[in-house]
Amino acid sequence: MTTRVILICHGSTDAVRGAKFPTDEPLDEFGLKRAKALVDSLPKVERCWTSPELRTRQTAQALELNAEIEPMLRDCDYGAWAGRSLDEVHAREPDAASTWLRDPAATPHDGESITAVIRRGGQWLAGEQARPQRAIVVTHPAVIRAAIVHALEAKPQSFWRIDITPLSVTRLSSLGGRWNLSAAGCMAT
């Protein structure tokens, strides 16, 4: 039997609009309104998951999903960079920012590396692969990128080449042996 995972990126926040590394911020008014408008477009599923952060829980609630919190779906820990823009980080710490964008194992912000996020996302997907069902997951761009990299067995450096926008939908499926990507970063209709 097939496992299908529909990954939905949380709605927009002030950090998203300001191109900042996120903190545990709420959805902005536009993100909340847009999420509520998508309720009727969601398929029926057996299970719903969300990460622990406020913005994902609010998105799941706006989508009228009865989602369970799954800690493995939490956002990347950006450490000292949380709340700052990449431009600001690059201006103050140009070598650290460049290293982080080039080396997925780097943690110049004393947070979590991209390789750690990919590993965590892969572990979560492995657990889901054992459950033949259809599930919706509301999580973060970093976690969705990590799931795609893991599913495609791509190099960790490809993480930065995947754009995930607020409320976009990514679909993965598995018959138990491997994951297939059927849609990435598509806008929900």
* Nearest C-alpha neighbor of 140 from the set 186, 77, 184, 74: 74
Contact present, 21 and 78 (Cβ < 8 Å):
yes
pLDDT confidence of residue 176? 76
Could you report the per-residue pLDDT of 105-141, keeping only the tens digit for each? Answer: 999 999 999 999 999 999 999 888 777 789 999 999 9
The phi, psi pair for 164, rounded to 5°, reads -125, 120
Give yes or no for residue 153 having a pLDDT over 60: yes
Could you report the per-residue pLDDT of 93-105, keeping only the tens digit for each? Answer: 999 999 999 999 9
Residues near 136 by Cβ (< 8 Å), separated by ≥ 6? 6, 8, 42, 43, 45, 47, 48, 49, 63, 65, 67
User: How far apart are alpha carbons 43 and 104 in whole angstroms?
Assistant: 34
**Hey, what CATH topology would domain 10-14+16-187 get?**
Rossmann fold (3.40.50)
Could you report the per-residue pLDDT of 13-59, keeping only the tens digit for each? Answer: 999 888 999 999 999 999 999 999 999 999 999 999 999 999 999 99
Q: What kind and span of H or E run contains 59?
A: helix 54-62
- b or e along 3-33 (b: 16 or more beta carbons within 10 Å of the residue's beta carbon)? bbbbbbbbbbbebbeeebbbbebebbeebbe
